[in-house]
Amino acid sequence: MRRLLLAALLVLTGVAVWPPAATARNDPPQTDSAQTVSGSGEFADLKITVSQTRGLINQTVRVSWTGGTETGPVGRFATHYLQVMQCWGDDPAGPTREQCQFGGLDAQSGLGLGDYTKSRQIRYHNPRDPAETGEPPADGAAYAPFRPVTGEPTTSFGKYFDGGTTNEVPFAKTRRDGTGDLDFEVQTALEAYGLGCGAVRADGPDQGKPRHCWLVVVPRGDTEVNGRKPGVDHTSSNLDSSPLSATNWKNRIQVRLEFQPVGRACPIGVEERSLTGHEFVADAVARWQPALCAGGGTVFGFTQVPDGIARDQLAGADPGMVLLSEPQSPDQATRPVVYAPVAVSGFAVAFVLERQSRGPEVEPDPAVWGRDGQLMTELKLTPRLVAKLLTQSYRDVVPGGPDHLKGNPRRLNEDPEFLDLNPEYRAYGVLMNALDILSPSTDLDAVTALWTWIDADPDARAFLNGAPDPHGMVVNRNYRGLALPVPNFPKQDLTCVDLPKIGPECALLLRPLAADLHEAGRAISRGDTLGKTPNGLPDPADPAKPGYSRVPRQPIGERSLLAVVDTATAARYGLPTAKLRNAAGNFVAPDDAGLAAALNELTPTAVPGVRRANPKATGSGAYPLPNVTYAAIAPSTVDKKRGAEYAEFLRYATGPGQTRGEAAGRLPLGYLPLPDPMRKQAADAATVVERDAGKPLPTEAAEAVARPTTATTRPTQAPASAPPPPPAAPAPTPTSATPVAEVRATPALPVTWALRYLLAGLLVAGGVATAAGPVLLRLGGRPPG
């Protein structure tokens, strides 16, 4: 009874009560379209399962298998492994080897053994493949050409894919029990235009449908194409031939992949409705849009921008709908703006840390070294550990190991504080090279919340102020006394070391920032640091300057990278996320339970009904960094037709769009379905938007809105000499008002009283809504898939 009375009191005072964490659902596995396919011949016991085969965008799918033979010899990719690639092909029987993206990693070292195993070379003097017709040329270098979906076959395939862009996995390990798994990145026509997956067909019997593709696995045993066995009667102790060699190719296992449309999810040339906002809702909007525009429905074009720019747009003359976390400040709000919650997700530290023990030569326990290459799934981080990673405080993250980091551990997995908290990494993290957290370059409200979480922790704050941790590690001096919170991730150690005859190696180039959360997540899933290192050659664009090359990607099985991402990006690329210590001292993951509990801890903003993340939440199961995305719209800036269309967007996004699933129109994994109070809040907001659209502001209010604003973008940090902003426009004289009783009739409705002296009864309408257009993402947005 006491709980019921408390809940009723909270509702009457305008505070939403969320379902308890215990009722939250766990993310369902992506099994609606999973397929399992068996091998043949000597690989008849091998069964390959692909977790998702329909409704694909640029994402990862889990490829797992049983019935294999342990890769070996131990610690080496010599025999018994899988080779995985993506191919196109219109023939229902499957693709040809010429239609496959493979060979891009041929030049990279550290990716297994064998002379041609990473190559497209299919004819060799030794071993000779009897299934290949014709005599090999004198130098033995005959290659399977790559046939792009449009264009002529070529052996110079670099224009279509290379070591930095390919998604091929040349070596996938089978464990001692015959099982294995990997997260394989499937690419659309936007990432691999030579394959064209998902591109809408312009003609033929499948006109208007997206192009399908194939996932192909070539299993490798312990026998070469000429029948000899490595280490027995073959001159090499490992397999040498390419998976594209005819004898190997005939053993392929293929699975058809169906993609969401790329390029024309909605009709081209029709009028779009503007959606502008932050990245946290981009994946959801991209899934909603095809359902919204189906059958002649409205097309919404989404522009991805930082939260601050979204708020600035909301103050403009024709803002459309805006999606963001924080509402306008009172000095920005000059007209009624309606806010509606549309998505719940989280801000997370994702990781790809694969077991790397000392190996069988040093580690006596086969239960340990037998799991090398397997992805770690558990990671605990405190605010101080995150602070270390974000402040370039591990010695190897800065070129040359400078003196100001001399006494610090080289990397995270050598930090005693980290190992005490994560003891499993003592055995499995020996060879990991985790140095920092790949972070976005954009300003976000969620970043401010992350720094607030760090700043509120006494140990982390003391560390940033210069106090050593219990083991003597100190903050990088370039960050000492860092004033928090800030909306971005500063890179303040710009050390460069001159490498003789090669060029300067610089911290900012070696460990750069990512363009956004999506790029950070995708990069670590591919083993890519995004770093560049001098190559000893002149810069092609300016021969007077040294040239730089991409740092090679870390191969699957040897990856050790962390990134700041949203939970939707983590789910999209199959990335585990760290458990963060909350203010109650508990380590909580950004899963359904952690996010649902965090909703109970949201704190009010100046706008009634709009609540922000509380990084200092003391709820035992509350994740400290949830993110609620609000759609905001000023009804006075849209006509009746647009108002009805935006209202329909709100109703769909917070109704059918909250059902999880693979299909277009569903909610992607990584989002928590909106609790019922938030759905009610959004439904009420949609009613107000549709009702008040096109109603003009009182004359003096309209004049206030028409006055020029002081900024169109929000700088990261104002210069010290910047003049003070002009005073805010005075509140207009009251001329009309909606009766207060009408507002009180819907207490859950998020209403802001920006012009309270004039608009005591008016709903304040404005906000940030993101909806995905046909496939239109602007200003650095992610590909919608």
pLDDT mean across residues, the chain: 84
Q: Alpha helices of 177-266 — where are they, by DSSP H?
A: 246-249
Residue 326 and residue 307 in contact, taking contact as beta carbons nearer than 8 Å: yes
Q: Is residue 127 reached through a cis peptide bond, with omega within 30 degrees of 0 on the bond before it?
A: yes
Overall residue count recorded for the chain in this entry: 785
- For 452, the enclosing helix (H) or strand (E) is helix 445-455
CA separation for the pair 160, 164 (Å, rounded): 11
- For 384, the enclosing helix (H) or strand (E) is helix 383-390
Question: Mind listing the pLDDT tens digit for each residue in 619-667?
Answer: 999 999 999 999 999 999 999 999 999 999 999 999 999 999 888 899 9
Residue in the block written with tokens 């229902």: 92
Q: Which amino acid would we find at residue 13?
A: T
CA separation for the pair 200, 459 (Å, rounded): 54
Paired sense of beta strands 169-173 and 81-87, if any: antiparallel
DSSP sequence for 545-584: EEEEEEPPPPPTTS-EEEEEEEHHHHHHTT--BPEEE-TT
Residue 347 and residue 564 in contact, taking contact as beta carbons nearer than 8 Å: yes
Question: In the structure encoding, which two tokens stand for residue 278, read together?
Answer: 């932050």
CA separation for the pair 304, 770 (Å, rounded): 8
If we measure between CA atoms, which residue out of 629, 638, 630, 778 comes closest to residue 319?
638
pLDDT at 780: 34
pLDDT at 205: 86
Tell me the three state secondary structure of residue 636. helix
Tell me the three state secondary structure of residue 635. helix
pLDDT at 13: 32
For the chain (length 785 residues), average pLDDT per consecutive 10? 35 35 38 90 97 94 96 85 97 97 88 86 85 73 93 93 94 93 96 95 87 98 93 85 96 97 77 95 95 92 95 94 94 90 98 87 78 91 98 96 95 97 91 94 97 98 98 98 97 95 94 97 96 92 90 90 98 97 98 98 95 96 98 96 97 97 92 97 97 79 42 31 34 27 28 30 30 31 40
Q: Is the dihedral of CA 48, 49, 55, 60 positive or negative?
A: negative
CATH T-level topology, domain 272-346+608-613+623-709+733-778: D-Maltodextrin-Binding Protein; domain 2 (3.40.190)
The model carries a pTM of 0.84
If we measure between CA atoms, which residue out of 556, 511, 501 comes closest to residue 533?
511
Q: At what angle do helices 676-692 and 640-653 cross, to 10 degrees?
A: 170
CA separation for the pair 263, 259 (Å, rounded): 12
Distance of CA 220 to the CA centre of its chain: 32
Question: In the structure encoding, which two tokens stand for residue 308, read together?
Answer: 């601050």
Structural domain boundaries in the chain: 23-264, 272-346+608-613+623-709+733-778, 348-588
CA separation for the pair 389, 384 (Å, rounded): 9
CA separation for the pair 484, 133 (Å, rounded): 68
Residue 764 and residue 337 in contact, taking contact as beta carbons nearer than 8 Å: yes
Tell me the three state secondary structure of residue 36. strand
If we measure between CA atoms, which residue out of 109, 171, 106 comes closest to residue 122?
106
CA separation for the pair 711, 708 (Å, rounded): 9
Other Cβ atoms less than 10 A from the Cβ of 232: the count is 9
pLDDT at 762: 29
Residue in the block written with tokens 């939403």: 16
Paired sense of beta strands 626-633 and 338-353, if any: antiparallel
pLDDT at 128: 86
pLDDT at 484: 97
Q: Which residues contact 417 (CB under 8 A, 6 or more apart)?
A: 382, 384, 385, 469, 470, 471, 473
pLDDT at 698: 64
Q: Which amino acid would we find at residue 231?
A: G
If we measure between CA atoms, which residue out of 607, 86, 584, 639 comes closest to residue 341?
607
Question: Mind listing the pLDDT tens digit for each residue in 672-707?
Answer: 999 999 999 999 999 999 999 998 876 555 444 444
Tell me the three state secondary structure of residue 291. helix
pLDDT at 759: 28
Other Cβ atoms less than 10 A from the Cβ of 47: the count is 17
CA separation for the pair 50, 43 (Å, rounded): 17
Widest CA span of the chain, in angstroms?
A: 96
Q: Which residues contact 394 (CB under 8 A, 6 or more apart)?
A: 388, 405, 408, 409, 410, 411, 412, 415, 435, 436
Tell me the three state secondary structure of residue 284. helix
DSSP sequence for 476-538: -GGGTT--S--SS-------EEEETTTEEEEHHHHS--BSSHHHHHHHHHTT----EEEEEEE
